């Protein structure tokens, strides 16, 4: 039994900017991304190697959270394509028409919902699979029990793969992103600290506050240690704020129990009605697992 946790916001953006054909709903609005998400989920639900038994999809709606109150530069919907923004509500309706649980986030983020579900249910299933390439999900990984799946690259990242790629374990990922930055979330990081330096320091000390202020006390060799230490000492408060931004919450009040996330099949009447309303006849024939 597996639990698939899907980053719906990422899927929506991916579908919108994909090369799939444009699609206009009968009302004239751009529905390419919404239809793309449904097609993507149908492919997942019927994938022979995925064994989808339980799943949920989380969306940022709106693309703003408590983190925007902490840091003005944090990601938001500023500059977002209006055609994409307009599909935040319709895509949730579409996913529900598939018989899939939707978590819509306002104060929290979709990533927080997925992190909460992973932490809550990892002991109840054989494996939790977080379907998103976002770097911050590295903090959720646990052995082969909780893994990250990049569907676009067809790659599974478990804890061992994370350590091999980043040089740090899951607990240090928020610190790693605080130091190196995360463009996707608007976290700038600290100037002049790259991934190799961050990995060396966090590999030795685990967390930012444990890195000695005096580089002479460091137990690892770091190029430009004096300069790096100066940046860390001068920008430590900023780094701790960035870490807070990068730390996923695991206390989102999700109402569903594990059994509520069981996929029981696509509800035929509801899904076919959605297909008719969107004028996507070909998708009607896709489901093979009906409720």
Please indicate, yes or no, if residue 291 is contained in any of the structural domains.
no
Q: Decide if 190 contacts 243 (C-beta within 8 A).
A: no
- Do 66 and 204 share a domain, yes or no? no
CA count, 13 A, side-chain hemisphere, 112: 22
Please indicate, yes or no, if residue 49 is contained in any of the structural domains.
yes
Which pLDDT value is given to residue 266?
97
**DSSP 3-state of 46:** coil
- Measuring CA to CA, which residue among 127, 136, 237, 129 is closest to residue 183? 136
**DSSP 3-state of 280:** coil
Owner of token pair 């070909």: 282
- Do 187 and 240 share a domain, yes or no? yes
Question: Domains in the chain: how many in total?
Answer: 2
Please indicate, yes or no, if residue 289 is contained in any of the structural domains.
no
For residue 253, how far is the Cα from the chain centroid? 18
Domain that holds residue 121: 2-163+249-284
- What pLDDT band is residue 68 in, cutting at 50, 70 and 90? very high
- Do 260 and 151 share a domain, yes or no? yes
pLDDT at 50 over 90: no
C-alpha to C-alpha distance for 256 and 1, rounded to whole angstroms: 17
- Do 97 and 153 share a domain, yes or no? yes
- Do 200 and 272 share a domain, yes or no? no
- Residues 71-105: pLDDT tens digits? 999 999 998 999 999 999 999 999 999 999 999 99
For residue 210, how far is the Cα from the chain centroid? 28
- Residues 173-202: pLDDT tens digits? 999 999 999 999 999 999 999 999 999 999
Which CATH number do you get for residue 56? 3.40.50.1010
What is the pTM assigned to this prediction? 0.96
- Residues 106-135: pLDDT tens digits? 899 999 999 999 999 999 999 999 999 999
Which pLDDT value is given to residue 47?
86
Which pLDDT value is given to residue 48?
85
- Do 242 and 255 share a domain, yes or no? no
Q: Decide if 279 contacts 25 (C-beta within 8 A).
A: yes
C-alpha to C-alpha distance for 181 and 273, rounded to whole angstroms: 44
Please indicate, yes or no, if residue 290 is contained in any of the structural domains.
no
The widest CA-to-CA distance across the chain, in whole angstroms, is: 69
- Do 39 and 119 share a domain, yes or no? yes
Which CATH number do you get for residue 225? 1.10.150.20
- Do 156 and 275 share a domain, yes or no? yes
C-alpha to C-alpha distance for 188 and 34, rounded to whole angstroms: 31
């Amino acid at each position: 039994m597996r639990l698939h946790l899907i980053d719906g916001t990422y899927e929506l953006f991916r579908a919108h900017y994909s090369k799939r054909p444009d699609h206009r709903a009968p009302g004239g609005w751009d529905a390419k991304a919404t239809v793309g998400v449904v097609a993507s989920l149908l492919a997942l639900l019927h994938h022979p190697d995925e064994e989808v038994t339980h799943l949920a999809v989380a969306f940022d709606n709106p693309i703003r959270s408590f983190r925007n109150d902490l840091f003005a530069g944090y990601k938001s919907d500023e500059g977002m394509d209006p055609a994409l923004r307009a599909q935040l509500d319709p895509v949730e309706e579409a996913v529900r028409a598939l018989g899939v649980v939707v978590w819509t986030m306002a104060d929290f983020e979709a990533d927080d919902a997925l992190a909460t579900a992973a932490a809550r249910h990892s002991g109840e299933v054989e494996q939790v699979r977080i379907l998103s390439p976002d770097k911050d999900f590295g903090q959720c990984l646990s052995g082969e029990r909780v893994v990250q799946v990049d569907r676009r690259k067809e790659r599974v990242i478990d804890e061992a793969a994370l350590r091999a790629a980043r040089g740090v374990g899951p607990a240090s990922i928020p610190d790693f992103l605080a130091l190196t930055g995360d463009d996707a979330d608007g976290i700038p990081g600290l100037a002049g600290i790259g991934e190799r330096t961050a990995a060396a320091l966090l590999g030795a000390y685990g967390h930012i506050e444990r890195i000695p202020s005096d580089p002479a006390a460091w137990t690892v060799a770091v190029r430009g240690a004096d300069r790096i230490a100066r940046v860390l000492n001068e920008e430590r408060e900023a780094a701790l704020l960035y870490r807070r931004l990068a730390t996923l919450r695991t206390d989102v009040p999700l109402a569903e129990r594990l059994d509520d996330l069981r996929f029981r099949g696509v509800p035929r009447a509801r899904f076919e009605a959605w297909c008719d309303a969107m004028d996507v006849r070909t998708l009607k024939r896709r489901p093979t697992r009906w409720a």
